[in-house]
Structure 1
Amino acid sequence: MKLSIKNLALATVSLLLLAACADEQDDKGGGSEFQVPVTYYKLDNGLKVILSKDTTSPTAIVAVYYNIGFRIEPKDRTGFAHLFEHMMFQGSDNLGKMEFIKLVQQNGGILNGSTRFDFTNYFEIVPSHKLETMLWAEADRMRGLNITQENLTNQQGVVKNEVKVNVLNQPYGGFPWLDMPQYANENWYNAHNFYGDLEDLDAANLEDVASFFKTYYAPNNAAIAVVGDFDETEAKAWIEQYFGDIPAAEQPPQPDISEPRQEEQKEFVKNDSLANKPAIALAYHMPERNSDEYYAMGLLDQILVQGDNSLLVQKLENELGYTSNVSGGINYLGNMFNYKGPMLWMFNLTYDNETTRDDIVTAVDGVMGELKESLTQEMLDRAIVKIRSQLYDNLGGSFGLGRADLLCSFALFDDDPARINTLESEFREIDLETVKRTIDEYLRVGNRTILVTNPLLAENTTTD
């Protein structure tokens, strides 16, 4: 399975019923009353279970999230969490090599897996009458993975080739999603090459794989969400039947993943022999997750880079014409909710060779310098509308996959998947003073890292 750099929660199929329900309540003057159904409990072995019924379509999603991402993978084994994601498709006690994939596809479903900062996830979307089959299959590989040297060697080659194709042999291959965390962060857990150094991938052995599986792929380190059209009593019985007797495992102490406060701006230039235009990314360390400032940064993200009316898009694209592709956000490998540790707010763009790095940074500094004084309640209100729209798209997208993503993330990180129903109100509680305080602390120059791609294919390239 390919390491996805897209957000699984992004909607590809918007179920507008969700937004319609909320809009109907707004018209009545009561605000958004739509609530995601959440039934949350734990099995005796520690597995966190979230059920969320939605009869909009005759489909069901099974999503299994393990509380292990590449942030805390073993040192000298960079890329190991992602390598292990591939191993999970190589067979289990009752399903041979690639038979899991065939089982899903032959039953009319789709599936995927991905590795993120703080979790590795697997999901299947199937016709609802195949729910039991998918629960059995997921339990089968949680219970016992087929760990062989042949499978390991094969997947080491697959992942190494993926690194070469997606990063090493692509213009802007790791820019900025893979590169920036390595430059902006100080703590190894946040700053290493999580896609994997080729030497580290070669160094993985069967003992590493067996230990990793036994430790991190245990039920007490996982959450499972079932979203869609199903009978809750039946689903509970199946989950108990197939997952209930899988033994728990002792979990090691969590490493310190904190980042020190950045006091001075950092800047780096990376040569790219395949790029023909310069590119720049600017990153700022995020506030602590779930703090008032964290929600304020979510609003500032909407104001600064999300959508055609955002301030940096207006300045850099429409007014100055430096670029046509300002993009950015919180957590390039997901969304602002599905991570646990330190994170960056970042934006990036490519620009013509006639434009300089100083032109870009000067324009950005102008926007940032005026932001605090120009900020109004009306701007915050518009940002909340945009966040609300995005949230409903995420909840309904891909037959409910975005909903499953948030439910599992909140179960793993907060032990509270019902948080999904309080997000909008959390943003609404943020006032102007909180946002201005957040600007002062988190959008200061000293909290910023700049990464410039130097395009070696471009003629007359200069490095500023």
Structure 2
Amino acid sequence: MKKSLMAISSLFLLGGTVTAQKVEFQEYKLDNGLHVILHQDKSAPVVITSVMYHVGAKDEKPDRTGFAHFFEHLLFEGTKNIARGEWFKIVTANGGVNNANTNDDRTYYYEVFPSNNLELGLWMESERLMHPVINEIGVKTQNEVVKEEKRLRVDNQPYGSLIAEVKKNMFTKHPYRWATIGSMEHLDAATLKEFQDFNAKYYIPNNAVLVVAGDFEFANATKWVQQYFGSIKKGVDIVRETYVEEPITQTITANYQDPNIQIPMMVAAYRTPSMKTRDARVLDFISTYLSDGKSSKLYKKIVDDKKIALQVGAVGLSQADYGMYVLYGLPLGKNTSEVLLQEIDEEIVKVQTDLISEKDFQKIQNKFENQFVDNNATIEGIASNLATYYMLYGDVNLINTEADMYRSITREEMRDIAKKYLNPNQRLILDYSPSKDKAQN
């Protein structure tokens, strides 16, 4: 459920400026602490039932990483009233699709059904929450599934370990320092009781938000939400530890040898603030200016004009507590990573020194306007955004107002934020190279 590395730098779409429609919603809380958000849209006969849990890789123990992602798979195994292997059959037989995804901050499950199956979707999600079956056969089965996923997406994928290596070297205290998929050795060593305890701690109504979006009647939705979720017992309130990283004041250097590549990758990464901050949003503008698409400053200069790289880009990975801003490039021919970094640094210094042109600034604003519209162009997107803004930002209405924050960003802020965060002494330089054995072949 991850985007490929090269796709990440193409998150924003080009196009003319358009105006996003306001997303209407209702929200309330059940007695057991479950937060409920309802968004009605009768434009198509479909309905989404989704639940986001406030549990991700950062909630794991250092010697038991990978639990949150593991549960993304495990909780499709079955429940007291849904036999093992029947979950997907039920969804498909009723004209639906479903999926789930995990990151460092949360886990998200959803079903998309024809609108006449809203009650079914709510019942299934209540079953996942109230009656999951967590036993040895399920754990062993999903252990193999996760191992195969890791082999395909990380171990045997060119540059598949890039983000994990950046995180490992960028964070020293925060749980962001380990990969979301975690350690297979940790999963192998875990006991059944540890999995059951993890479920009992985090998969509770007062650690979740339920979103119903699409073609439904409010009276039916509220009745069925109460019917299927209202009796679920509230869990023990979760106390989370706060992890504070010391500022990076000297360049960090690290190296990693990837057996799946032949071309080294230039990697320079900066630790950035929480995605909830204004600074993080300004950094989004800077990333778009430098590396979004083939007309961006870095691509035009380094790939098109000077022809010293096959690819160049910048990835902004925003998260609840901290983010990462990762610059990367694939040197062409005899050019080196050092040459690419020098060229990139020249462009960063320009952003830190001079105001970008009004034309370039307007282009960035147009891209973000289009992004806001695209993000809420589907019921699935709206459901996910409503859950995310509640769970991680603490303000559901950001689905309507965050665009105004971006519109208020100035060229002067871009210059000042670049000065604040994008300096050589504040970054990681990762020597990401082919393994020596590979290089000798």
TM-score calculated relative to the size of structure 2: 0.92
- 1:441 aligns with one of 420, 423, 432: 420
Instruction: Tell me what 1:147 maps to.
Output: 134
CA distances 1:256-279 after superposition (whole Å, capped 9, x unpaired): 233221111222221112211111
Report the counterpart of residue 431 of structure 1 in structure 2: 410
Question: Which one-letter code corresponds to 1:318 in the other structure?
Answer: D
Secondary structure at the counterpart of residue 178 of structure 1 = helix
Please, which moves more after superposition, 71-80 or 131-140?
Answer: 71-80
1:15 equivalent in structure 2: none
Alignment of 1:207 with 2:193, yes or no, is yes
Please tell me whether the aligned partners of residues 55 and 202 of structure 2 are also in contact (alpha carbons under 8 angstroms): yes
Q: Distance in 2 between matches of 1:54 and 1:326?
A: 41
Between the aligned partners of 1:130 and 1:347, the Cα distance in structure 2 is 45
Contact 1:305 1:311 in 2 (8 A): yes
1:432 Cα offset (Å): 2.8
Query: Which of 312, 316, 319 in structure 1 is aligned with 2:302?
Result: 316
Work out whether 1:389 is the aligned partner of 2:376. Answer: no
Change (3 A) 1:428 1:353: same
Measured against aligned partners, the alpha-carbon deviations of 1:187-234 in whole angstroms (never above 9, x if no partner) come to 241112332222211111111111111110001000111221222221
Q: Does 1:81 align with 2:68?
A: yes
Following TM superposition, by how much is the alpha carbon of 1:400 offset from its aligned partner in structure 2, in angstroms? 2.2
Match of 1:106 in 2: 93
What is the aligned-residue RMSD (CA, Å)? 2.3
**Once the two structures are superposed, what CA deviation does each residue of 1:374-404 show, in whole Å capped at 9, x if it has no partner?**
42444333211111111211111xx322222
Equivalent residue number for residue 123 of structure 2? 136
| Equivalent pairs, count | 432
- Give SS of 1:112's match: strand
Residues 353 and 184 (structure 1), Cα distance of their counterparts in 2 relative to 1, 3 Å cut: farther
Equivalent of 2:30, from 37, 43, 49? Answer: 43
In 1: Cα distance, 2:388 partner to 2:244 partner: 19
Deviations 1:12-48 (A, max 9, x none): xxxxxxx99x84xxxxxxxx46201121111111111
Contact 2:355 2:415 survives alignment (8 Å): no
Shift of the 295–196 alpha-carbon distance from structure 1 to 2, 3 Å rule, reads: closer
2:329 corresponds in structure 1 to 349
Per-residue deviation, 1:353: 4.7
Q: Once the 2 structures are TM-superposed, how far is the Cα of residue 460 of structure 1 from its aligned partner?
A: 6.9
CA contact (8 A) 1:258 1:341 kept: no
Cross-structure match for 2:11: none
Aligned mates of 2:129, 2:387 — CA distance in 1: 16
2: distance between equivalents of 1:288 and 1:199? 30
- State the alpha-carbon separation in 2 of the partners of residues 248 and 165 from structure 1: 38
Residues in 1 aligned to 2:308 and 2:115: alpha-carbon distance in whole angstroms? 49
Q: Where in structure 1 are there 5+ consecutive unaligned residues?
A: 11-18, 24-31
**Distance in 2 between the 1:40 and 1:434 partners?**
35
Post-superposition Cα deviations, 1:87-122, rounded to whole Å, max 9, x if no partner, equal 101111210112111111111221111110100111
What secondary structure is seen at the aligned counterpart in 1 of 2:49? Answer: strand
- 1:148-187 equivalences under 5 Å are 148-175=135-162, 177-187=163-173
Alpha carbons of structure 1 residues 413 and 6: separation in structure 2 relative to 1, 3 Å: farther
In structure 2, the residue matched to 1:379 is 360
> 1:72 maps to which residue?
59
Task: Answer yes or no: is the 8 Å Cα contact 2:276–2:393 preserved in 1.
Answer: no
- Structure-2 residue corresponding to 1:368: 348
Identity %: 28
Measured against aligned partners, the alpha-carbon deviations of 1:233-268 in whole angstroms (never above 9, x if no partner) come to 211211111111111111332122332211112222
**Shift, 1:60, TM fit:** 1.3
What is the distance in 2 between the residues matched to 1:322 and 1:401?
Answer: 41
2:310 paired with 1:330: no
Provide the residue aligned with 1:359 in structure 2: 339
- Is the contact made by 2:164 and 2:178 (CA closer than 8 Å) also made in structure 1? no
Q: Which amino acid in 2 is paired with 1:194? A: T
Note the 1:239-258 alignment, pairs <5 A.
239-258=225-244
Q: Secondary structure at the match of 2:226?
A: helix
- Report the 3-state secondary structure (helix = DSSP H, G, I; strand = E; otherwise coil) of the residue aligned with 2:309: coil
Deviation, structure 1 residue 342: 0.9
Which stretch shows the higher mean deviation, 403-412 or 302-311?
302-311
Q: Is the 8 A contact 2:95 2:113 kept in 1?
A: yes
- Find the partner of 1:125 among 92, 99, 112: 112
2: CA distance, partners of 1:204 / 1:430: 47
Q: Partners in 1 of 2:81 and 2:20 — Cα distance?
A: 45
Query: What do residues 289-348 of structure 1 show as CA deviations (whole Å, max 9, x unaligned)?
Result: 3333222112112111112222112222212223343344322xxxx4xx4111112232
Q: How does 1:85-96 map to 2 (within 5 A)?
A: 85-96=72-83
Structure 2 distance, partners of 1:78, 1:252, is 18
CA contact (8 A) 2:329 2:340 kept: no
1:337-362 CA-partner distances (Å, limit 9, x unpaired): xx411111223233335220111111
**TM-score (norm. length: structure 1):** 0.87
Q: In 2, distance between residues paired with 1:49 and 1:325?
A: 44
- Which residue, out of 268, 271, 275, partners 1:285? 271
Q: Distance in 1 between matches of 2:432 and 2:100?
A: 30
Deviations 1:48-82 (A, max 9, x none): 11111222321111221000001121221011111
In structure 2, how many angstroms separate the alpha carbons of the residues matched to 1:51 and 1:262? 43
* SS in structure 1 of the partner of residue 250 of structure 2: coil
- 1:275 equivalent to 2:261? Answer yes
